[in-house]
Structure 1
Amino acid sequence: AGAEGFSESEVDRMNGAFQRFKDPDSPEIHKDELKMVLSHLGYSQIDPDQVKDMADNITTFPALEKPDFMSFMEKHAEFERHRFKEIFERYDADGSGYLDTEELITFLTSLGFTPLRSMVKEALDMVDLDGNGTLDFEEVVVLMHVYKHSEGFTLAQIQEISSIFANIHEESNVVSPPGRQPTMPADKLSDLLVTFFGPASAKNATALTSEMA
């Protein structure tokens, strides 16, 4: 049950989110945690009333087991797609059925993102399947998947962060369990953030590290 219409990497991320937000003493996740799960997974269209209705339609119990959780994710993905379609049509200023770069930036901003022009151009190049410099709705849906997974960073920035992470992981001599992604100590997070974002981020980096440690 569940996972229909999702890629393997998306299912992996959902499984990780379920483990992170579920009740530690139970194999279930409380309905109150679902908004946090969606935000964690990068969803921008989170309507609290809609989230509650979807979850209540799946089960009347206050918590969802794993199959119910995956069913909820399917329903929310469908809801978000419909919401994207409505917003797409609103920002397709010339009614062409396509968004150009400027319309795309306005579209992303309306969804609560702060898009970098370089990221938009890179994502556009990646998902513009017909190469006409604009995106139709299906291509925009693909773009949103790319944007969610990259958190708005360009490929070069992701590679730089990955390199810094790998160095800290290696220096920390952290041994990850078999089959698990490499990790680094929480107290090293500020080192990564300052290395990538520069000294100006030191105060926020230290505060975030203290919160996570």
Structure 2
Amino acid sequence: MNKCSAYNRVFQHFDEDKDGKISALELCRCIESIGGGLLMEEAETVIESLDSDGDGLLGSEDFVGLMESGSEEEKIKDLREAFEMYDTDGAECITPKSLKSMLSRLGESRALEECVVMINQFDLDGNGVLNFEEFKDMMIH
């Protein structure tokens, strides 16, 4: 999965009403669904600062700008938090089972065999799981 397709999948998940835009309410709900917190005012400020066409919503290009903003340190921190969401058993790795579980929570049903194939694409050491460095490489490239 390249960076653009990863951003697109996240964008589609945030876009609850599938109108091709993310509203402040959708942004708040999705941040909440992954264990974060964002006040409506904060979401509106984020959207206002990135909204390229002035419609009060984030389009996919605006969303990529949001995802790519911030320092390298912030990006690594965000990736670590995302990695921990997939690492459901605390083993410091993403297993096919934990990937299947997380994708299911995001509304994307996959067979365990498909998850094995997905992990194998980025499993550099061949151990059948993704460690943080492999996950980071997958998300950045």
TM-score (norm 1): 0.36
- Counterparts of residues 20-31 of structure 1 (less than 5 Å): none
Q: Which runs of 4+ in 1 moved over 6 A?
A: 81-84
**CA separation in 2, counterparts of 1:75 and 1:143?**
19
Rounded Cα–Cα distance in structure 2 between residues aligned with 1:127 and 1:86: 19
Q: Percent identity?
A: 21
Amino acid in the other structure paired with 2:126? G
Q: Which of 123, 128, 131 is 1:136 aligned to?
A: 131
Q: Provide, for residues 168-201 of structure 1, a one-character-per-residue CA deviation record: whole Å limited to 9, x for no partner.
A: xxxxxxxxxxxxxxxxxxxxxxxxxxxxxxxxxx
Task: Provide the alpha-carbon RMSD of the alignment.
Answer: 4.2
**Alignment CA distance shift 1:83-1:52 (3 Å):** farther
Please, which of 98, 102, 105 is the counterpart of residue 107 of structure 1? 102
CA distance in 1, matches of 2:60, 2:117: 33
- Check if 1:42 corresponds to 2:33: no
Structure 1's unaligned 5+ residue stretches are 1-5, 14-37, 147-213
Q: Aligned in 2, Cα 1:145/1:113: closer, same or farther, shift over 3 Å?
A: farther
Shift of 1:78: 6.2
Whichever structure has more helix as a proportion of its residues is 1
| Cross-structure match for 2:64 | 73
- 1 or 2 for the larger relative contact order (CA 8 Å, sep ≥6)? 2
Equivalenced residue count is 107
Residue in 2 aligned with 1:119?
A: 114
- Cα separation, 2, equivalents of 1:78 and 1:115: 31
Contact preservation (8 Å) 1:105, 1:115: yes
What letter matches 2:67 in structure 1? H
Distance 1:144 1:116 in 2: 22
Instruction: Tell which structure's C-alpha radius of gyration is larger.
Output: 1
- 5+ residue gaps, structure 2, are 15-25, 29-37
CA displacement at 1:59 relative to structure 2:
5.2
